[in-house]
């Protein structure tokens, strides 16, 4: 009896055995899936991040939660964030969304100004946080190979400027002798300064376009480089027109308020007279903007360019052909007054209009 019972207990049970095999198979499948899940998610995240960056989300990252792509990072506006989200929905994901830590700037990027004078370099920019400031400082220091002057402000509301373009822009500016600057505003980079000849100006403009175009999509260059004509070379109608422009400017010229580039009524009246002179002639003129020494050099460079462009645009609106008006900013260089006095600083916040050779 005892042996019969023991035999029955040791006899294989088909149902229990089959269940055990199924459970073992399921366990192995779960382990295999868990081992594959990491590489699968990493591949999805890499492909989604690449798609977002290709769509312009330079500072975005994507991680995968289940099969959902989650986009994080900082964006210049809501449209850019939405474009990044849509781009992250690559094959293999079920959906895409913006992460809770996404930051969308409420203001566009401020102008970024790089200037080279001799062996020195200066910068003026505004970035959204300290990390971006450190990154920009490192990029400029590497490009300058020495001391960097200027100012980098932090404002959480603004979009980040294209820091990636700085090394190439700096190399382009340093590649041509002289004092030059590049002011990057959105998809436009303005190149200003004097060049020794037309060929040097063409090389510099082409180099700046190539440098900015590697980072900024659809960038265009506004060439404000000039070859100055000395007063001694002006003869005939050019000399007469120069004298007429000087007379129209008057002894006080066209000046601006502190940190401003708005034309007041007196400035507009003088520019009306200058426009009348230029409409009657054929000379191409340079509208040069200047500042006092109150601010940092890169900021003065940008402000002087704004002043020059404001006056140039006004002349064009008054009928002067646009191809005969050039604008350039010269910062606080070439003062006409004593920057140590209020009256001298006021005189230095000005524009000058002079004939130039056509490049």
CATH number for the domain running over 14-104: 1.10.287
Q: For a pLDDT cut of 70, what percent of the chain falls above it?
A: 79
- pLDDT for residue 349: 93
Residues 9-39 as b/e (b if ≥16 CB within 10 A, e otherwise) read eeeeeeeeeeeeeeeeeeeeeeeeeeeeeee
The overall average pLDDT reported for the chain is 79
Q: Residue 118's CB: how many other CB atoms inside 10 A?
A: 8
Tens-digit pLDDT profile for residues 62-116: 888 888 888 888 887 888 888 888 888 888 888 888 888 888 888 888 888 888 8
Whole-prediction pTM value?
A: 0.54
From 127, 109, 57, 193, select the one nearest 138 (Cα to Cα).
Answer: 127
Least confident segment among 193-207, 279-293, 328-342:
193-207
Tens-digit pLDDT profile for residues 322-349: 888 888 778 887 888 999 999 999 999 9
- CATH top class, domain 112-226: alpha beta
- pLDDT for residue 346: 92
Domain ranges of the chain: 14-104, 112-226, 231-355
Size (the chain), residues: 359
Cα–Cα distance for residue pair 125/133, rounded to 1 Å: 9
Tens-digit pLDDT profile for residues 213-260: 888 878 888 877 776 554 434 444 456 766 776 776 666 678 999 888
Cα–Cα distance for residue pair 26/93, rounded to 1 Å: 25
Q: In the CATH scheme, what is the homologous superfamily, with its name and number, of domain 231-355?
A: OmpA-like domain (3.30.1330.60)
Is the CB of residue 217 less than 8 Å from the CB of residue 56?
yes
Tokens of 95: 């959906």
């Amino acid at each position: 009896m005892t042996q019969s019972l023991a035999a029955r207990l040791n006899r294989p049970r088909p149902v229990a055995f089959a269940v055990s095999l199924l459970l073992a198979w399921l366990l192995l499948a779960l382990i295999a899936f868990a081992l594959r899940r990491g590489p699968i998610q990493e591949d999805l995240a890499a492909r989604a991040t690449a798609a977002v960056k290709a769509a312009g989300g330079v500072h975005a990252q994507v991680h995968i939660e289940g099969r959902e792509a989650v986009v994080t990072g900082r964006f210049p506006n809501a449209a850019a964030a939405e474009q990044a989200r849509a781009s992250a929905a690559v094959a293999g994901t079920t959906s895409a969304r913006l992460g809770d830590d996404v930051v969308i700037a409420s203001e566009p990027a401020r102008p970024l100004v790089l200037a080279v004078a001799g062996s020195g370099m200066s910068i003026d920019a505004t970035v959204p946080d300290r990390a971006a400031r450190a990154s920009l400082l490192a990029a400029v220091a590497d490009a300058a190979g020495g001391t960097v002057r200027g100012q980098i402000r932090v404002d959480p509301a603004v979009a980040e400027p294209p820091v990636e373009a700085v090394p190439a822009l700096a190399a382009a500016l340093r590649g041509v002798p002289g004092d030059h600057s590049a002011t990057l505003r959105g998809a436009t980079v303005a190149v200003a300064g004097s060049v020794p000849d037309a060929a040097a100006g063409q090389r510099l403009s082409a180099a700046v376009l190539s440098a900015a175009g590697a980072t900024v999509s659809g960038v265009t260059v506004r060439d404000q480089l000039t070859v100055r004509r000395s007063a001694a070379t002006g003869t005939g109608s050019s000399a007469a027109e120069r004298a007429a422009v000087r007379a129209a400017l008057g002894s006080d010229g066209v000046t601006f308020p502190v940190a401003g580039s708005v034309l007041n009524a007196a400035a507009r009246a003088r520019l009306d007279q200058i426009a009348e002179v230029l409409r009657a002639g054929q000379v191409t003129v340079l509208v040069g903007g200047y500042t006092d020494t109150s601010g940092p050099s890169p900021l003065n460079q940008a402000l002087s360019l704004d002043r020059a462009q404001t006056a140039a645009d006004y002349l064009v609106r008054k009928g002067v052909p646009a191809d005969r008006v050039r604008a350039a900013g010269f910062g606080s260089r070439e003062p006409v007054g004593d920057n140590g006095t209020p009256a001298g600083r006021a005189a230095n916040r000005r524009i000058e209009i002079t004939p130039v050779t056509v490049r």
